[in-house]
Amino acid sequence: MKHRVLSILTAGSLAAVCISSVATPFPFFYNSWTARYPASMTDDLLISAGGTGCQVCHQASAGGAPWNPYGFRVRIGWIATGDIDMAMMLAETFDSDNDVTGTSNLDEIAGSTQPGWIPGNDNTVLYADGTPVTNQPAPDCDGDYDPSPIDTRYCSPANVNSTGMPGRIDALGSPEVAQNNVTLAASDLPPGQFGYFLASRTQGMVMPPNSSGFLCVTGNIGRLNSPGMIIQGPSGSTAIDLTAIPINPTSPVMPGESWNFQCWYRDVGNTSNFTDAIEITFS
Ligand SMILES: [Ca+2]
Ligand SMILES: [Ca+2]
């Protein structure tokens, strides 16, 4: 169905609708983008949802200001070099939308997600002078805005903390043990309060004494609280070493195993709390 829509709307006719805020047509930018990334469906998935290819970079379907953070990054390179292909290349290594998986612009384009947009209303757009506008909705898209996270969420949402928000855990990186590339991230924690991550092969759900939240791992629990691994609210992240998870005794993660992670943290009022939890099945 998406392909049917695309066959009707040729690249040329689509590009013609990209009009800047000063009513100058700029099919050049979109044409350059599709020429550099011919296999990417990033633009096509916006188009089939009723938008235009301009929204890969711009908020408005007709282009112009403001830009999403990816488009703004390309714009910086364009202004600096006057070479649109160079500008797109210079933007590739950035993670402009700061998505939960930490995926670079190039990998999002290659994976046909949106390098400049995250799902929901937490997007930021920028005007020509760099003035940001926050809390903007993403344009409609027939695909995913971000790559799939490597984890499965459970025990979610967590009990709210003193900020009024439930703490949240995310995992970035790869579920492939051999890569030893997993970073745990926690967000919406109370500012200034410390916390650390927990690891276990076993899920559970119990509210410990003096806690405001649920502990969702049980059994042989590892505390990732060695120096450098302690985080501080409102958000923090730490890389974990899959060759040595500090359960008792310290054990490596093996391919095929599922492990569960959660973040414990202090909160104001002499209490503590937990984020929600995630399970990662390793390969
Ligand atoms: Ca990204
Ligand atoms: Ca994205």
Whether the predicted pLDDT of 250 surpasses 50? yes
For the entire predicted model, the pTM comes to 0.58
Q: How many angstroms is it from 96 CA to the middle of ligand 1?
A: 6
Q: Which residues make beta-bridge pairs with 280?
A: 259
**Half-sphere exposure (Cβ direction) of 266: Cα atoms closer than 13 Å:** 10
Q: How many angstroms is it from 279 CA to the middle of ligand 1?
A: 22
Looking at the domain assignment, is residue 145 inside a domain?
Answer: no
pLDDT confidence tier of residue 74, bands split at 50, 70 and 90: very high
Q: How many angstroms is it from 115 CA to the middle of ligand 2?
A: 4
Instruction: Read off the CATH number of the domain in which 215 is found.
Output: 2.60.40
Q: What does the alpha-carbon distance between residue 73 and residue 157 come to, in Å, rounded to a whole number?
A: 34
Q: How many angstroms is it from 72 CA to the middle of ligand 1?
A: 14
Judgement on whether residues 119 and 206 belong to the same structural domain of the protein: no
Measured from the alpha carbon of residue 42, the closest ligand is 2
Q: What is the pLDDT of residue 26?
A: 65
Judgement on whether residues 116 and 15 belong to the same structural domain of the protein: yes
Q: How many angstroms is it from 241 CA to the middle of ligand 2?
A: 27
Looking at the domain assignment, is residue 144 inside a domain?
Answer: no
Q: Are 253 and 177 in contact (CB under 8 A)?
A: yes
Looking at the domain assignment, is residue 247 inside a domain?
Answer: yes
Q: How many angstroms is it from 270 CA to the middle of ligand 1?
A: 37
Measured from the alpha carbon of residue 107, the closest ligand is 1
Q: Which of 88, 109, 136 is the C-terminal boundary of a domain?
A: 136
Structural domains of the chain, count: 2
Q: What does the alpha-carbon distance between residue 119 and residue 138 come to, in Å, rounded to a whole number?
A: 6
pLDDT tens digits along 203-235:
999 999 999 999 999 999 999 999 899 999 999
Judgement on whether residues 97 and 168 belong to the same structural domain of the protein: no
Q: What does the alpha-carbon distance between residue 117 and residue 56 come to, in Å, rounded to a whole number?
A: 8
Judgement on whether residues 174 and 268 belong to the same structural domain of the protein: yes
Mean pLDDT, residues 30-34: 96
Q: How many angstroms is it from 99 CA to the middle of ligand 2?
A: 6
Q: Are 96 and 116 in contact (CB under 8 A)?
A: yes
Considering the chain, what is the average pLDDT of its residues?
Answer: 90
Burial (CB < 10 A; 0-12, 13-18, 19+), residue 164, is: exposed
Q: Which of 109, 136, 163 is the C-terminal boundary of a domain?
A: 136
Q: Which element (helix H / strand E) includes 262? A: strand 258-267
Judgement on whether residues 21 and 55 belong to the same structural domain of the protein: yes
Residue 20 sits in which domain range? Answer: 2-136
Judgement on whether residues 122 and 170 belong to the same structural domain of the protein: no
Q: Are 83 and 64 in contact (CB under 8 A)?
A: no
Measured from the alpha carbon of residue 102, the closest ligand is 1
Mean pLDDT, residues 244-272: 97
Q: How many angstroms is it from 145 CA to the middle of ligand 2?
A: 5
Judgement on whether residues 121 and 177 belong to the same structural domain of the protein: no
Sign of CA dihedral 174, 175, 177, 183: positive
Sign of CA dihedral 82, 85, 90, 96: positive
Q: Which residues of 249-268 are buried (b: 16+ CB within 10 A; e: fewer)?
A: eebebeeeeebbbbbbbbbe
Judgement on whether residues 31 and 120 belong to the same structural domain of the protein: yes
Judgement on whether residues 159 and 125 belong to the same structural domain of the protein: no
Looking at the domain assignment, is residue 147 inside a domain?
Answer: no
Judgement on whether residues 160 and 260 belong to the same structural domain of the protein: yes
Judgement on whether residues 277 and 158 belong to the same structural domain of the protein: yes
Which tokens is 258 given?
């599922």
